[in-house]
Amino acid sequence: MTIRHHITDQLLMGYSAGQLPEAFNLVIAAHLSFCDECRARLGAFDAIGGALMGECDSVAMMESSLTATLDRLTQPAPAPRLRRKACKVLPAPLVDYVGGDLASVKWRSIGMGVRQAILPTDAGATARLLYIPAGQKVADHSHRGMELTLVLQGAFSDETDRFGPGDLEIANDDLHHQPVAEEGPDCICLAATEAPLRFNGLLPRLAQPFLRI
């Protein structure tokens, strides 16, 4: 797998520091499972963060901290969580959210042959799987905030470039585009948005509240 589009330093630092919404963390974790280069860069940011923490002043603990810790030690250990293996298309971080492989995804049509499955994440941003048939266009749109789109299968092209398996497109409110899935395998993507999209067409705008896009 040749990856040409990677995570920015700003996003990697936010991921390392635990400052991103869950949906963004999911997309980044999925990309990291593909990308040796970004994993190495993340390791460097983790090391810097650890060094900075070592230089911070100590903070006094609450008087109840020791008692609370001892109480937790006497509680029964939780049952170990079974970790699902990555499937052919879905990386391991995503399999846990889906609950299995592609056959477990609960797709919902959003028009023009395109389907989506919204994943359970916190309120900071929304994560969804997108299924775009080969050769099909997505409704042209712009953004009200950042959108991360990771290609899992197939490929798409838009006004900026081509994105294949493992590639991450980072869009903001300056980008207006209409992604088109390439011929070949149907395009499957993992996308995270921090705000609703801004569609040009009337029908997508009317359907938007019901489809939660």
Cβ atoms 83, 97 nearer than 8 A: no
Residue 7 has pLDDT above 70, yes or no: yes
pTM for this one?
0.82
Average pLDDT along the chain: 87
Q: What is the mean pLDDT of residues 12-30?
A: 95
| pLDDT value for 50 | 67
Identity of the residue numbered 2: T
15 pLDDT exceeds 80?
yes
Q: 11-20, 98-107, 159-168: which range is least confident on average?
A: 98-107
Most confident of 8-12, 46-50, 144-148, 203-207: 8-12
In the chain, what are the domains?
A: 1-79+86-213 (2.60.120.10)
Q: What is the dihedral of CA 5, 175, 107, 122, to 10 degrees?
A: 90
Q: Quick one: tokens of 40?
A: 């190495």
* Count helices and strands in the chain by DSSP H and E runs: 6, 11
- pLDDT at res. 150: 98
Q: Mean pLDDT, to the nearest integer, of 144-170?
A: 95
* Cβ 59 vs Cβ 35: under 8 Å: no
What pLDDT digit, counting tens, does each position of 77-121 carry? 666 555 556 678 899 999 989 988 888 899 999 888 999 999 999
Average pLDDT estimate for 1-27:
95
pLDDT at 149: 96
Angle between helices 22-34 and 9-17 (to 10 degrees): 110
Residue 44 has pLDDT above 70, yes or no: yes
What confidence score (pLDDT) does residue 42 get? 95
What pLDDT, on the 0 to 100 scale, is given for residue 210?
Answer: 60
Read off the pLDDT band of 43 (50, 70, 90). very high
* Residue 91 three-state SS: coil
pLDDT bin (cut points 50, 70, 90) of residue 142 is confident
Using pLDDT thresholds of 50, 70 and 90, give the confidence band for residue 209.
low
Strands (E), 27-135: 108-111, 114-119, 126-132
